[in-house]
Chains A and B, each alone.
Chain A
Amino acid sequence: NAGVTQTPKFQVLKTGQSMTLQCAQDMNHEYMSWYRQDPGMGLRLIHYSVGAGITDQGEVPNGYNVSRSTTEDFPLRLLSAAPSQTSVYFCASSLDGNEKLFFGSGTQLSVL
């Protein structure tokens, strides 16, 4: 099992560009989520999903969009990148929302 796979590992964007961060898991987990990590701020929840077709907002959803068309994939879309979105992004999943989270290795995003 690969676990939780995030791509790309690094990305540089210009202000106003859009892009999609990919997240896939091969553990048949129902629950998936996206966090961003900034220095001194810990991790903040962006969006989460408790199953295919179901998504909900976390603490900091503005500027981000998600969808969950399959159990395996949970992409995060930046609609119009801003310098404030410079951060490290982590995707995580768990079996059914009652178990521990498994994290991907992260995507380091810089917006210039």
Chain B
Amino acid sequence: SQQGEEDPQALSIQEGENATMNCSYKTSINNLQWYRQNSGRGLVHLILIRSNEREKHSGRLRVTLDTSKKSSSLLITASRAADTASYFCATGSGAYNTDKLIFGTGTRLQVFP
């Protein structure tokens, strides 16, 4: 079964607005990562947050992690049409950060110009 579940499944916004996606997971983790997938392409890594971190920033991206609630959120500020893609959270619980990295079902983001 999937470890992570993203919410919402789909999100449509206008350029310039902020987009927030949430991820809930079931078991203890070492780290949580977010990836982006453009239609028909491979996934691209966005950001990694470790279990002892609560918030991390990268450019227009802000990720939070609440291990007590087993949840994470990805905020994209001032969205652009080029941000249109599917976004996946992935949790690592093995001896390393990426072994047995388990992905959620994804959020499809549509940003209208």
Enumerate chain A interface residues (CB-CB to B < 8 A): 4, 31, 33, 35, 40-45, 48, 50, 56, 58-59, 90, 92, 94, 96-106
Chain B residues touching A, majority SS: loop
User: Is the beta-carbon distance between A101 and B45 smaller than 8 angstroms?
Assistant: yes
Enumerate chain B interface residues (CB-CB to A < 8 A): 2, 4, 33, 35, 40-45, 48, 88, 90, 94-106
In the complex, 15 of the A-B residue pairs with CB atoms within 8 angstroms, ordered by the A residue number, are: A33-B98, A33-B99, A33-B101, A43-B90, A45-B100, A48-B99, A56-B99, A59-B102, A100-B33, A101-B33, A101-B35, A101-B45, A103-B42, A106-B41, A106-B42
The answer to whether residues A97 and B98 also contact, given A41-B2, A103-B42 and a CB cut-off of 8 A, is: yes
* Residues in chain A near residue B95, CB distance under 8 A: 97
Task: Give the A-B pair count, Cβ closer than 8 A.
Answer: 71
Chain A residues touching B, majority SS: strand
User: Is the beta-carbon distance between A50 and B99 smaller than 8 angstroms?
Assistant: yes
Q: A42-B104, A97-B94, A101-B98 are in contact. List 18 more A-B contacts (CB 8 A).
A: A4-B42, A31-B99, A33-B101, A40-B105, A41-B2, A43-B43, A43-B90, A48-B100, A90-B42, A90-B43, A97-B96, A98-B96, A99-B98, A103-B42, A103-B43, A104-B42, A105-B42, A106-B40
